[in-house]
Amino acid sequence: MSGSSDMSHGSHAVCFYFVSLSINVSDVSENIADLAGRIRPSLIRLYLAMRRHTPIPEYTAAQASALATLVDHGPLRMGELADRESIRMPTATALVDGLCKADLVERTPDPADRRAVQVALTDHGRDVLRRVGSERDVVLTRALADLSDEHRDALAAAAPALQALRDRLDKPDRASASPDHRK
């Protein structure tokens, strides 16, 4: 677990340091912090294993994240996409340019403001995402088949909690974002 303990004022405060973001979780129980430290490596390795077992020549990991955001939220303005991806506008523009060149997304006029554009999935983009999803389902199904019934039951029981965790992590957290992240 990457972290350090802070013994200030006689209490045990746990701080985690990720890149340049410091999160003080002294108000969170040590059990929750321990759980975070135990599941984080597995979540990261699961993601990397899925990418390794189903390489995708059509797009990069950063582009995959933007595509997943568009799947989850529908067409978005560039600024909204940049916010949701926690990237700067020039990065979002370059990302979308690459996705447009691959015919995975298109820029369309925003119906609420014709001066603005939205980024939306193309039919080809949806087809590629369906194919990749199916390939990943096959890989995951094979891996799950190799587990014990007990482990599969535990994963099934954890699925709603994992979805809730994903939903929480997907929410743009403006309090922790740098004020100039979209410049």
Domain ranges of the chain: 1-38, 54-170
pLDDT band at 114 (very low <50, low <70, confident <90, very high): confident
Assess contact for 102 and 56: CB atoms under 8 A.
Answer: no
Class of the CATH-defined domain 54-170: mainly alpha
Provide the 3-class DSSP secondary structure of residue 16. Answer: strand
Q: Are strands 4-6 and 13-18 parallel, antiparallel or unpaired?
A: antiparallel
Q: What is the pLDDT of residue 23?
A: 52
Q: What is the pTM of this model?
A: 0.70
pLDDT digits (tens, 9 = 90+) for 92-109: 999 999 999 999 999 999
∠ CA 120-168-113, nearest 5°, is 30
